[in-house]
Amino acid sequence: MVREIRLVLTIATLLPDLLGTYGDGGNGLVLAERARRRGNDVRLVTMELGDELPEAEIYLLGGGEDGPQRLARDLLIEGSFHARVEGGATVLAVCAGLQILGESFSVEGDDEFEGLGIVDVRTKRARTRSVGELLVDVGGRALVGFENHGGETSLGDGVTPLGRVRRGRGNDGNFDGFRSGSIWATYAHGPVLALNPWLADELLQSVLGHALEPLVSVADDLYNERVAALNSR
């Protein structure tokens, strides 16, 4: 008997009640919709306060205020998140999400807090807050978004930045975010995957293991407008 095996892709938005600044939860909606429109079966699930970590192929972490960020760190350090990531799950982390994946962070004062220790990056409090438009060159493609954070992040040896900052500050004024194994991280809000459809597709392609059919939508026009506007300033 021939059995058809259909893979269900599970995307989990983690703790949006703590890490939901600027609607970063929209990243899950964008990924799920772009995968569905290419014929994939997708489950989009949310881990809220008090929930167990769901099993998923993609985990999404958003931005957050300093206090909730520490609580999210506590909740994720206790559970099986580390093991899921070591097992190959893909992660997209934005801002506070990026910071908690690292070894340590201090953003609201000089106290240093332990991170999840999943990636060799450290975040210190910067002298000034980074607020405004962000334009990043990611391997020749423009990533647009906006940032609002007090932290400055340095990457350990062997951790590759996601891209080079053209406008704004990102990690440190030179680079934004990082790539480490199956982890993608950026300071860009937007939600970043709604503003940058190409990044959503790169992420999906890396998880699905094959190229996706092009998906033309108004999101591409808005993206092109934003890139042109930022480049002309």
Using CB under 6 A, list all residues that contact ligand GLN: 21, 63-66, 69, 95-96, 107, 148-151
Taking each continuous run of H as one helix and of E as one strand, the counts in the chain are 7, 12
CB of 64 to ligand GLN, least distance (A): 5
HSE-up of residue 206 (Cα within 13 Å, Cβ side): 18
Which residue is closest to ligand GLN by CB? 63
CB of 164 to ligand GLN, least distance (A): 20
Q: What secondary structure, in 3-state letters, does 80-103 show?
A: CHHHHHHCCCEEEEECHHHHHHCC
Q: Name 70's Cβ contacts closer than 8 Å, sequence gap at least 6.
A: 113
Q: Name 93's Cβ contacts closer than 8 Å, sequence gap at least 6.
A: 60, 61, 100, 101, 183, 184, 185, 186
Give the end-to-end CA distance of the chain in Å, rounded to a whole number.
62
CB of 152 to ligand GLN, least distance (A): 9
CB of 148 to ligand GLN, least distance (A): 5
Q: Please, which residue, 90 or 130, has the CB nearer to ligand GLN? A: 130
Q: Please, which residue, 64 or 191, has the CB nearer to ligand GLN? A: 64
Q: Please, which residue, 34 or 149, has the CB nearer to ligand GLN? A: 149
Residue positions counted in the chain: 233
Q: Please, which residue, 31 or 100, has the CB nearer to ligand GLN? A: 100
CB of 92 to ligand GLN, least distance (A): 14
Residue 217: CB atoms within 10 Å: 12
Q: Please, which residue, 150 or 201, has the CB nearer to ligand GLN? A: 150
